[in-house]
Structure 1
């Protein structure tokens, strides 16, 4: 018998009261999915899901009776979110699929745990744990697959993908995170065959899943399989062979500089170094304006010809770090220079130049820009040096008018 190891998350305040309200001691609720999978691997558990035989209305009533906040976040699909001490726990009624079209499913509630497991994607995600005994229920060999680092669809891979096309991208993300980089043959063949079905999905769902894959510590092997299998062509055809080399170099530089991975920075590495392409891809994936701007700025280049702090002053620290890491010709010491550094504001305005004798008008803005350019180029010197720069610049403009 396999049991879920005890861990800190199991003793979070309010969890026992929630389990009591849901009748876990009577077998009416079990931990499911990621918490069980990650718990078996002794990984940190942040998101907790509970499956229950109770229908959503009964879940709400029981939580309210126990004084636990209940939020109907996904009630149409049987999901209620309980909030215990600020921690959300998703509670979902056991379900079976009535019909699917690759994008959404019509479901019906059930009290059969195996039926609920059968509609999930991978064997390692269809594991349940009794909250009281911590005993694992495993209908499809997920525990053995987890031990073998084998990511496998439940049942027929093509059928699971037909139910939800996003499972193609999810497969490679889970392979990158939990697999041994060798895909299940049936799964890989089914993903390749169905790749064009990704075009039927919303771009937001594709972007979310792609960025989650890129955030994994070691995504290269999965991405290689996707590129070789032409799986990304329907949605991001701009990604090419050279992109993997750029991404590999970036991942090495992130590690060498102790910079936390960034999914958007890694996406930039996969794309040709062209801001217009970045804009096109960002628009197609319907990224936020902020994310699109970051992607574009990262690929505008120019990191090698300007001091790191001067670059950060111009485009922001985040953009500067992206450019420095993406350019293998730039020394990593520049990244260290920007750690915990905030670009200062020029401590001088146009009025100070007018006070020095510069005539009000368009020259003030131009002179102030020149003062700032020199101040930045000299590494943000103190106020005494800044005053000298201001005096020299005003004199220059006054001579030019004579």
Structure 2
């Protein structure tokens, strides 16, 4: 693995302008952008650490005409709004105090001290924006090469500083790690699992959904269950059901979907699904979809009928959870029912509940026949009207 960082994103004109504004030697790329570049993976977010105080960062960016927002000024973070995407610039820090949920920090001037407060060795890699030189204070390069996810320093201390690091550990293990996993990390996560109860449900839900959205979180979720971590955040979960779903998704080339994976972990009980959605602070649309998945039956029925009644996403959920074929939905657009109430009234039916009843009966027959054309719908209406007068 190279010890120099070089990637197209580093040579963007807006990044060059940002580096010039901050000044040589004052800032370094850090964290995910460095890690993912070394792994040959796409870089989504760019973060920088700097020796400069936040007020000086703002002053320099303003002088260079670079728009900026003090997104986390109390923690030393200023976001440079660049044409190619935002870059978060954070002054070097060290922790003054922590309570497992939030930290009080002080600004620092030592790169190693800043690295020491981060979570994992693979996230504490810094790179000089001008030369690409990598600065590695805790053997993160070796861990990255081995795909070994390891806490910096004492794992228990890192977790006591921020309890969410337990879930972050398993997410990073699922994304980057190989077996055998780090024994100290697993032991610390198991020992301190109960501390997750003190975190906001929203933070736990977000981190859990991030884990479930990875290509194959099933082995990691199984390990979380074995270590007693899963029981703290989702005691209703069945890891084996998740593994079966992931296998079905892979077999049918379905994209990973965190909400569908959550549905797999839960028993098929609508009230419970709604309860978990509320616990994880999911959106109303997500809650509805999770409940729809929970209302599934062992045999999902016709794929296109499901999609028409519940939407494509919910249809895919039910099919994949049952191990059924999703091919009928490939490239298929949900049709619009070509019959309106006014057409029934025009046929001599008085406005009111009877119109709605006829609409539903014709629609049910239209769905059962595989969504035939408008001419067939007229024939179906004729048949219903005949039955009505018979």
Under TM normalisation by the shorter chain, which class is it?
Answer: over 0.9
Q: C-alpha separation between the residues in 2 aligned to 1:11 and 1:394?
A: 71
Partner residue, 1:271 = 266
Q: Deviations over 1:333-378 (max 9, x none)?
A: xx22223333222121111112122233321110111111111111
Partner residue, 1:162 = 160
Q: C-alpha separation between the residues in 2 aligned to 1:120 and 1:276?
A: 40
What's the CA shift for 1:205?
A: 0.5
8 Å CA contact 1:2, 1:136 repeated in 2: no
Q: C-alpha separation between the residues in 2 aligned to 1:82 and 1:131?
A: 15
8 Å CA contact 2:225, 2:239 repeated in 1: no
Partner residue, 2:292 = 297
8 Å CA contact 2:57, 2:78 repeated in 1: yes
Q: Report the CA distance shift for 1:305/1:258 in structure 2 as closer, same or farther (over 3 A).
A: closer
Partner residue, 1:128 = 126
Cα RMSD (Å) of the superposition? 1.4
What's the CA shift for 1:168?
A: 0.3
What's the CA shift for 1:236?
A: 1.1
Normalized against structure 2, the TM-score is what? 0.97
What's the CA shift for 1:305?
A: 4.9
- Report 1:291-330 matches (<5 A): 291-302=286-297, 304-328=299-323, 330=324
Q: Deviations over 1:32-54 (max 9, x none)?
A: 00011111111111110011011
What's the CA shift for 1:285?
A: 1.6
Q: Of the candidates 317, 320, 340, which is equivalent to residue 331 of structure 2? A: 340
**1:374 to 2:365 alignment:** yes
What's the CA shift for 1:5?
A: 3.7
Q: C-alpha separation between the residues in 1 aligned to 2:272 and 2:72?
A: 37
Which deviates more from structure 2 when the two are superposed, residues 372-381 or residues 304-313?
A: 304-313
- Report 1:89-238 matches (<5 A): 89-238=87-236
Partner residue, 1:15 = 15
Q: Report the CA distance shift for 1:58/1:163 in structure 2 as closer, same or farther (over 3 A).
A: same
Secondary structure (helix, strand or coil) at the match of 1:80 reads strand
Q: Of the candidates 342, 358, 366, which is equivalent to residue 349 of structure 2? A: 358
Q: Of the candidates 241, 252, 257, which is equivalent to residue 246 of structure 1? A: 241
Q: Is there any run of 5+ residues in structure 1 with no aligned partner, and where?
A: none
Q: Is there any run of 5+ residues in structure 2 with no aligned partner, and where?
A: none
- Report 1:27-66 matches (<5 A): 27-66=25-64
Q: C-alpha separation between the residues in 2 aligned to 1:166 and 1:41?
A: 25
